[in-house]
Amino acid sequence: MNVTVLGCWGGFPKADEASSGYLIEQDGFHLLVDCGSAVLSKLQNHLKPADLDAIILSHYHADHVADIGVLQHALLIDSFTGKTRETPLLIYGHNEADGFEALTYKNITKGIAYDSNTVMQVGPFSISFCKTDHPAPCYAIRITDGSDIVVYTADTAFKKELTAFAKNADVLLAESNLYKGMDGSSAGHMTAEQAGIMAREAGVKTLVLTHLPHFGELEQLVQEASAEFEGTILLAKENLEIGL
Ligand code: ZN
C-alpha cells in the first residue's frame, strides 16, 4: 500500500496548498480519501482525475468535500473530448446529512451510501468505519489490503473507541488540529497530545499528524505527540508519501 498526502490543512487550505485529501494505492488501484479544497489540483501532480478508481468521504464539511464539484466537472469535460468512463466514478459517503445527494452527477459519478456497521470491499481494500465525535456526522476509516493497515481518524474529538479502531495500524493519520492544553471537545477536534496517546494505546507503527492548525509552531505538535508516543511521528505535508 502506498499513502500520499495531497492536502493536510484543517478548515481551509494554506496558500498554494490543499485541505484534506489522501491518496491510497495498491496494485494500480487509486482510492482518494476526502476531497477538500485544492485537492483536485494537487491530485493532478500524481494522476489524472479520470484515473481515480474510487473516492471515500468521511463527512461533508467543506474542507473535506469542496472539490467534489470540480472533480465532476473535470470528468464531464473528459467526456466531451471522447474520454468517457465506461462506468461512473463511485463516491462512497454516509447518507446521514445533506451532501450525499451531490455525490451523484449525471452518469459521471455515483454516490454509494456506506453502512458503517459493515466491512466494505472497494477494489483491493477492506474498509471499515467508526463514528467520530464531531459536530457533523463523521466516520473514521480503516483501510487494509489484508496485510497492511491504514487508519484515518477524520475529524474528531478524542474518543476511546477510536483507539480500539486504530489497533495495530501501520499508519495512523490522526487529526491534530489543536495544541496540548486546548479543549477540542465541543469543536470536535484533537490535540497533538491526544493523537500521541491514541497512537500509543493503539500500538500503531507510524503516526502522521494532519488536519493541521493555521496557528502556532507546527513542530510543537510533534514534540507534544512524542511525549506520549515513542514510535515514528511524521508531520503531514503535501506529497508526503509512505510506502508499506
Ligand atoms: Zn469537519
Domain CATH for 21: 3.60.15.10
- Please tell me the distance from the alpha carbon of residue 94 to that of residue 236, in angstroms, as a whole number: 26
- Please tell me the distance from the alpha carbon of residue 91 to that of residue 238, in angstroms, as a whole number: 23
Ligand 1 centroid to residue 33 C-alpha, Å: 14
What is the SS3 string spanning 1-35? CEEEEEECECCCCCCCCCECEEEEEECCEEEEECC
Q: Is residue 244 part of a domain?
A: no
Q: Is residue 59 part of a domain?
A: yes
pLDDT band at 221 (very low <50, low <70, confident <90, very high): very high
Q: Is residue 66 part of a domain?
A: yes
Q: Is residue 120 part of a domain?
A: yes
208 lies in which domain range? 2-238
**What integer pLDDT is reported at residue 86 of this predicted model?**
84
Q: Is residue 40 part of a domain?
A: yes
Ligand 1 centroid to residue 103 C-alpha, Å: 17
Q: Is residue 243 part of a domain?
A: no
- Please tell me the distance from the alpha carbon of residue 201 to that of residue 164, in angstroms, as a whole number: 8
Q: Is residue 188 part of a domain?
A: yes
Q: Is residue 127 part of a domain?
A: yes
**138: closest CA among 155, 157, 163, 120?**
155
Q: What is the value of pTM for the model shown?
A: 0.97
Ligand 1 centroid to residue 132 C-alpha, Å: 10
Number of domains in the chain: 1
pLDDT band at 81 (very low <50, low <70, confident <90, very high): confident
**Average pLDDT in the 81-105 region?**
93
Containing 232, the helix (H) or strand (E) segment is: strand 232-235
